[in-house]
Structure 1
């Protein structure tokens, strides 16, 4: 079977080709799947998409008309796919339900440490041979409180690192993670966590119940000098409300690897044409905010696992097998 993989970054292409070798022939394109590019999939029974593709009803309809029957998304999240429409059209949809949780957890800590110790500002200064320390003071994390919102695999990995720093651990989730409890984590209500934490890190999926989990009220509940990190999904934070709080001079630092309107921006070079997203443009101007373009997962280890699972998902589809990665099963024969 020939497979078309959309939105493939240069670094991940060899890993995807390696994973598909001996299984199916994969054609990689850096073009992202959109309404305009969906006709490129015509004739391909299976395609693979990236997390920033927008698979709405129009895109799915175009794919189905063109002969596509299987969509293998290279991510854990799937909030970008209209699953009821996919099911109605008889499209099989699969995701990567697991990859290295350490990739995201470690990057979340990279963001936290960078904004706490003003690493970007310091690096920019020294490039100009400005070696002053004014405005670069951070603070020790040992003895302070880490609030982990979502304690699944990634949240647990983040918690283990926080424990290594010697931090007090607060958690919020639907159910406690025994591994986090064993590290001394105390599970509390979300509002209590936000009010007490010196560092808040988000590790929950984006579903209707978690959209704008941190809205204006939640952000106001946080300490004025707290650090906020989001390496999960942009829609967890009300970006406009965050700008409002930052304009008041709040928060020691904010590290964002995701943004709620990142589709069509992240993974692309907009340095020449610029962007028309006023909220994101304002966010990156704050000296205590660090924005990266959804790269927390982007390690050789994690991408290798993602590519391998994606190839296996398509192999399972071709063989008529169903795994835990399938979100929408194949339409019944006849």
Structure 2
């Protein structure tokens, strides 16, 4: 069956749609010819009713795809749940399997995009360029309070050495850092490049900078907690560009108050589905934890933008459409990691 033939019936409904989603998916749909429908609302039990005559539902990191939602999708004859991201912790895979719905994802779009953003957060927190920018604009050219440190010679601990963790390791190696890494599987190529694989406890005890690049699951949820923070060096820097649930927010706040955590950079947040990807500048934020975090001078928060590059968005669109085509046409799967069910 050709792409042209399936385009007559294949309809893809996007949830949690942003303006850039429309731009990139519509641009690259020229080569696929699917019928696209965009909803800016999050997919959940209430919004599932919006789906009509849809073959594929395309979701993002904060959409709710639990058993109840999947049951509703099955009743509407949805064939595929296509994640336009790498993580899939928000999808009940067992339920999807029971209801006969296939699930795919984008396992690697631009690892460099996320890795480079993690580096940007490290440099910003360390050299305080965000504060310097605001000072100079107010004609304040004082250097007081802007003291940083050399990255060269510092020990950087990487938790999770998938594609993004590897890309991050290559960059920090260029700064002359000592690199420790933890993963359930040791990577021999990284070891050849000078990365030392150690236990998780060693990462916590010896690292001056810790960067999280692991998926969120039962084993990694709240991997940064009161106990692990207590093991860390004083004034440790923690960077999270992976998933918000890796950090127990209450423990991070206590670590900041006590001075144990010297710097915290988060591009993700436990309760981000209520905040991120929205303009809330005219609203009263009801989330006390994020307000408390943003009140610290040594905390940098970005709103899940690490993936946000032209290269990454192009790859996300192409891989998502490619996955859909493979599943609809029952083609041989080349990228095994992209198909979850």
C-alpha separation in 2, matches of 1:201 and 1:30: 31
Partner of 1:159 in structure 2?
Answer: 169
Q: How does 1:286-301 map to 2 (within 5 A)?
A: 286-301=296-311
C-alpha separation in 1, matches of 2:297 and 2:103: 41
C-alpha separation in 2, matches of 1:318 and 1:221: 50
Q: Summarize deviations over 1:85-128 as a string: whole Å, max 9, x none.
A: 11222211111122111011000000111111112222222232
Q: Give the TM-score, by structure 2 length.
A: 0.92
Check 1:209–1:256 CA distance in 2 against 1; reply closer, same or farther (3 A cut). Answer: same
Partner of 1:320 in structure 2?
Answer: 330
Check 1:4–1:104 CA distance in 2 against 1; reply closer, same or farther (3 A cut). Answer: same
Provide the aligned C-alpha RMSD in A: 1.4
Q: How does 1:232-243 map to 2 (within 5 A)?
A: 232-243=242-253
**C-alpha deviation, 1:295, in angstroms:** 1.0
Structure with larger RCO (C-alpha < 8 A, sep 6+): 1
**C-alpha deviation, 1:65, in angstroms:** 2.1
C-alpha separation in 1, matches of 2:332 and 2:23: 27
Work out which of the residue numbers 8, 24, 30 in structure 2 matches 1:21: 30
**C-alpha deviation, 1:204, in angstroms:** 0.7
Partner of 2:3 in structure 1?
Answer: none
C-alpha separation in 2, matches of 1:12 and 1:30: 10
* Alignment check: 8 A CA contact 1:42 1:67 kept: no
Q: Work out whether 1:60 is the aligned partner of 2:79.
A: no
Partner of 2:273 in structure 1?
Answer: 263
C-alpha separation in 2, matches of 1:225 and 1:246: 9
Partner of 2:6 in structure 1?
Answer: none
Partner of 1:171 in structure 2?
Answer: 181
Partner of 1:332 in structure 2?
Answer: none
Secondary structure at 2:41 match in 1: coil
Q: Work out whether 1:217 is the aligned partner of 2:230.
A: no
**C-alpha deviation, 1:322, in angstroms:** 5.6
* Alignment check: 8 A CA contact 2:229 2:260 kept: no
Partner of 2:60 in structure 1?
Answer: 50
Work out which of the residue numbers 184, 195, 207 in structure 2 matches 1:185: 195
C-alpha separation in 2, matches of 1:119 and 1:251: 20
Q: Work out whether 1:79 is the aligned partner of 2:89.
A: yes
* Alignment check: 8 A CA contact 1:214 1:237 kept: yes
Aligned length: 328
C-alpha separation in 2, matches of 1:114 and 1:125: 14
* Alignment check: 8 A CA contact 2:110 2:311 kept: yes
* Alignment check: 8 A CA contact 1:146 1:170 kept: yes
**C-alpha deviation, 1:9, in angstroms:** 1.9
Work out which of the residue numbers 281, 284, 295 in structure 2 matches 1:274: 284
Q: Summarize deviations over 1:197-236 as a string: whole Å, max 9, x none.
A: 1111011111111111111111111111221101011111
Partner of 2:18 in structure 1?
Answer: 9
Check 1:245–1:57 CA distance in 2 against 1; reply closer, same or farther (3 A cut). Answer: same
**C-alpha deviation, 1:28, in angstroms:** 2.6
* Alignment check: 8 A CA contact 1:116 1:252 kept: no
Secondary structure at 2:103 match in 1: strand
C-alpha separation in 1, matches of 2:160 and 2:339: 23
Runs of 4+ aligned structure 1 residues displaced above 3 Å come to: none
Instruction: Structure 1 unaligned segments of length 5 or more: list them.
Output: 329-334
C-alpha separation in 2, matches of 1:66 and 1:28: 17
Q: Work out whether 1:252 is the aligned partner of 2:262.
A: yes
* Alignment check: 8 A CA contact 2:11 2:55 kept: yes
